[in-house]
């Protein structure tokens, strides 16, 4: 019975995928030697032969043959009269090897061996997983969704290792079911309660960088360098790229023919808008590019305070700010400058400040319109109802009423 239990244990060990044969042999020998040292006082004179494939092993004890009555240590010495029972040709001073069988151990000892073996192998497996994924931090992993919970998703890699994708690391529009394939970057690896915890992320800028490396050969080969990435996951991202080879257009290479390269990345990021910008050390030019698609009329840089005053035509202000203010926020992060947007003085003296309509339009509506760069009557009318609906948080009915009031002023 004891043999069967131990052989079943060997069978279990063979299923471990992350342990090489040599390491498995070492662990098994270590466990048996520890058991022998505990039973006999020392294991220095024992040889362990393990055959993992057959689920078998042999234990041999080597003892020196001494004269009868001269045995001082029964573990390392054997009397001559006992030795010749094993082999008649033995002589004093020679070494005799005899096999130790499992039946020589008690049932409790055998169970202890089994438990220690399982525990050692499991500990090694955990450490191996930890080390493996520690080296993969920053790499994209493809896995299968195994379980979806409210706060996180459990993902299994191709070896069945459990990975965690927290809700905070998911793109807001991500939606997965059990069995779906998922791609994410390895963000963090910790040991919690002696268990490796691998955290994935789809919101990290590194995820976007790795996607560009996968889709754009020039980025992977180092011909194009990604200088900086900023993101509002699921909404908008800006990426500054640079090429040291004048023959390569970094923006064109990243976008691809008719957007072929960047479309795959956009789909993976659930239609996140991606602005690819040509990096430059000229802060004025870099800020101008970062505020695209808005067209800047002029810009003043204050290097001491890292501030930039940007002047635009009225119809460009809302473009610079962007929906939800994402465009100007990301441009500021990308360039490292605090950006203030100013409307150029208008030649049309008939325009009216939006605040003048506070007796007819609620203040919260005026504030919302100002947030998207519309601080005069004509700046609102120039955009039109559809653009205002898309860029503001106002209902269409409310916007139509505002437009009606403003048009009445000029009529």
Phi, psi values for residue 79, rounded to 5°: -70, 150
pLDDT confidence tier of residue 266, bands split at 50, 70 and 90: very high
Residue extent(s) of CATH 3.30.1480.10 domains in the chain: 2-132
What is the domain class of 209-276 according to CATH?
alpha beta
Q: What is the fold, at CATH topology level, of the domain defined by 2-132?
A: N Utilization Substance Protein A; Chain:P; domain 4 (3.30.1480)
Percent of the residues in the chain that have a pLDDT greater than 90, as a whole number = 42
Is the pLDDT reported for residue 5 higher than 50?
no
Helices 283-290/326-335 angle, 10° precision: 150
**What's this model's pTM, rounded to 2 decimal places?**
0.66
What DSSP letter does each residue of 71-131 carry, written as one string? -S-TTTEEEHHHHHHH-TT--TT-EEEEEEPGGGS-HHHHHHHHHHHHHHHHHHHHHHHHH
Name the CATH architecture for the domain at 354-410.
Answer: Orthogonal Bundle (1.10)
What is the domain class of 136-201 according to CATH?
mainly beta
Task: Give the CATH H-level superfamily of domain 280-343.
Answer: K homology (KH) domain (3.30.300.20)
- Give the pLDDT score at 288: 93
pLDDT single digits (tens) 314-342: 888 888 988 888 999 999 999 999 999 88
Rounded CA separation 233/238 (Å): 11
Residue extent(s) of CATH 3.30.300.20 domains in the chain: 209-276, 280-343
């Amino acid at each position: 019975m004891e043999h069967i239990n131990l052989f079943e244990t060997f069978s279990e060990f063979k299923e471990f995928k992350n342990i090489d044969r040599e390491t498995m042999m070492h662990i098994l020998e270590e466990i048996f030697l520890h058991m022998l040292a505990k039973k006999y006082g020392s294991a220095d004179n024992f040889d362990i032969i393990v055959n993992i494939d057959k689920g078998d092993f042999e234990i041999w004890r080597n003892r020196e043959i001494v004269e009868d009555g001269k045995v001082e240590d029964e573990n390392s010495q054997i009397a001559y009269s006992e030795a010749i029972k094993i082999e008649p040709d033995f002589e004093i001073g020679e070494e005799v090897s005899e096999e130790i069988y499992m039946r020589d151990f008690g049932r409790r000892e055998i169970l202890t061996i089994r438990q220690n073996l399982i525990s050692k192998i499991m500990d090694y497996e955990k450490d191996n997983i930890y080390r493996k994924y520690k080296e993969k931090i920053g790499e994209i992993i493809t896995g299968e969704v195994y379980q979806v919970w409210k706060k996180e998703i459990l993902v299994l890699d191709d070896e069945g290792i459990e990975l965690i994708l927290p809700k905070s690391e998911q793109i807001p529009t991500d939606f997965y079911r059990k069995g779906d394939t998922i791609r994410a970057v390895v963000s963090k690896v910790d040991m919690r309660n002696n268990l490796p915890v691998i955290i994935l992320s789809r919101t990290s800028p590194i995820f976007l960088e790795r996607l560009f490396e996968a889709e754009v050969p020039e980025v992977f080969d180092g011909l194009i360098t990604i200088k900086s990435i900023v993101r509002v996951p699921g909404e908008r991202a800006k990426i500054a790229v640079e090429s040291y080879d004048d023959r390569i257009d970094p923006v064109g290479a990243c976008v691809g023919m008719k957007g072929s390269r960047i479309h795959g990345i956009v789909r993976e990021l659930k239609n996140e808008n991606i602005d690819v910008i040509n990096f430059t050390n000229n802060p004025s030019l870099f800020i101008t590019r970062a505020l695209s698609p808005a067209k800047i009329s002029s810009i003043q840089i204050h290097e001491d305070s890292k501030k930039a005053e940007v002047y635009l035509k009225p119809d460009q202000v809302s473009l610079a700010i962007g929906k939800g203010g994402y465009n100007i926020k990301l441009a500021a992060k990308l360039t490292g400058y605090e950006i203030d947007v100013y409307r150029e003085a208008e030649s049309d003296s008939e325009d009216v400040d939006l605040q003048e309509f506070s007796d007819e339009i609620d203040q919260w509506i005026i504030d919302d319109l100002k947030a998207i760069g519309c601080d005069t009557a004509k700046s609102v009318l120039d955009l039109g109802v559809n653009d205002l609906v898309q860029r503001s948080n106002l209902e269409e009915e409310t916007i139509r009423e505002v437009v009606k009031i403003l048009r009445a002023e000029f009529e």
